[in-house]
Amino acid sequence: MKWPPQGRSQVQLGNEEKDIDSSDLSKGRFGSLLLSMPPGRILISQAKLRARVRELGVTISRHYRRHLPPGEKPLFLGVMNGALFFFTDLLRAVDLDDVEISTLRVSSYAGTQSAGTLRGLKALGDSFNGRHVLIVDDILDTGLTLSALVTRLKELGAADVKTCILLEKRRKHDVPIKPDWLGFKIEDEFVVGYGLDLDGKYRALKQIRVLKTPDQ
Ligand code: XMP
């Protein structure tokens, strides 16, 4: 579209579609909306996220249909808050007779840096004994969170632990670990949206965006 638009037009401002007139722009009426636009460039669009999550749902359903012992149901464990949208969308895309759903919270990040230690694992109870668990998480960065979680679930007696991660950063992980199922490989940049946040901000954005922080 030509910018600024001529006459009346529908434009996307942030997450909202607005019907605007070119004279509104010249009068500055939309200045505040332009300022509240989401940060950074779109790395993965809503349509691409939807399509990939659908594919993962099909693959994961096929896997559990083939490999679960009779009478067993898998336990899908979503890591909050980052995997919130991914987890619920994936659950909708999965086609299995019975799935048990649980969530947990762990955290290692402060700002855009990993704090290196993980809080929240001790609180996990003994309900994992003998279970086939699928960990669903937002992003694999240093690898610390995922490997600590897999180790802990095995200690608690899980019969099988698989991992499904939305994003994996293209970098050498501090702890070597490979997800069983992956949405997208991305460059080593800080991303937000679709559940991923920067200290609580940008989590509700519909797309994954690369954040340019003020110190960059
Ligand atoms: P590790 O380093 O343990 O990271 O593999 C896992 C957790 O760190 C958070 N993380 C990010 N969050 N944008 C975010 O919003 C990022 O680029 C990013 N990199 C890591 C995230 O919570 C993840 O589960």
**99 vs 115: CA distance, rounded Å:** 33
Q: Is 105 within the bounds of a domain?
A: yes
Q: Is 22 within the bounds of a domain?
A: yes
Q: Is 215 within the bounds of a domain?
A: no
Mean pLDDT of 85-97: 97
Share of the chain above pLDDT 70, in %: 71
What is the bridge-based pairing of β-strands 191-192 and 208-210?
antiparallel
Domain that holds residue 22: 1-37
pLDDT at 118 over 80: no
Question: In angstroms, what is the span from residue 108 Cα to ligand 1's centroid?
Answer: 8
Coil, strand or helix at 183 = strand
Q: Is 108 within the bounds of a domain?
A: yes
175 CA: nearest ligand 1 atom: 5
- CA dihedral over 38, 40, 41, 46, signed as positive or negative: negative
CB 135 within 8 A of CB 77: yes
Residue 9 shares a structural domain with residue 48: no
Q: Is 163 within the bounds of a domain?
A: yes
CB 213 within 8 A of CB 112: yes
CB 186 within 8 A of CB 168: yes
Q: Tell me the DSSP string of 117-153.
A: EEESSTT--STTTT-EEEEEEEEESSSHHHHHHHHHH
Residue 120 shares a structural domain with residue 25: no
Residue 78 shares a structural domain with residue 180: yes
**69 vs 85: CA distance, rounded Å:** 29
Residue 148 shares a structural domain with residue 202: yes
Question: Please, which pLDDT band fits residue 82 given cuts at 50, 70 and 90?
Answer: very high
97 assigned to active site: no
Mutation pick for ligand 1 pocket among 196, 203, 212 (CB with most ligand atoms within 8 Å): 196
Residue 76 shares a structural domain with residue 5: no
What lies within 8 Å, CB to CB, of 97 at 6+ separation is 73
pLDDT of residue 47: 97
List, in sequence order, the alpha helices (H) in the chain: 22-26, 31-35, 46-67, 84-93, 144-155
Residue 55 shares a structural domain with residue 4: no
Helices and strands (DSSP H and E) totals, the chain:
5, 12
Residue located nearest, by CA, to atom 14 of ligand 1: 196
Residue 30 shares a structural domain with residue 75: no
CATH number at 164 reads 3.40.50.2020
CB 177 within 8 A of CB 4: no
**44 vs 52: CA distance, rounded Å:** 10
Instruction: Enter the pTM of the model.
Output: 0.81
**71 vs 174: CA distance, rounded Å:** 38
Residue 32 shares a structural domain with residue 45: no
Residue 2 shares a structural domain with residue 57: no
CB 122 within 8 A of CB 111: no
Q: Which of 155-164, 168-177, 182-191 comes out lowest in average pLDDT?
A: 168-177
**109 vs 147: CA distance, rounded Å:** 16
Residue 30 shares a structural domain with residue 94: no
Residue 4 shares a structural domain with residue 84: no
* Ligand 1: lining residues by beta carbon, under 6 Å: 82, 108-109, 114, 137-145, 190-192, 196-197
Mean pLDDT of 54-75: 96
Q: Is 216 within the bounds of a domain?
A: no
Active site residue: 89, 137, 138, 141, which one?
A: 141
pLDDT of residue 114: 54
Residue 146 shares a structural domain with residue 50: yes
Give how many domains the chain has, as a whole number. 2
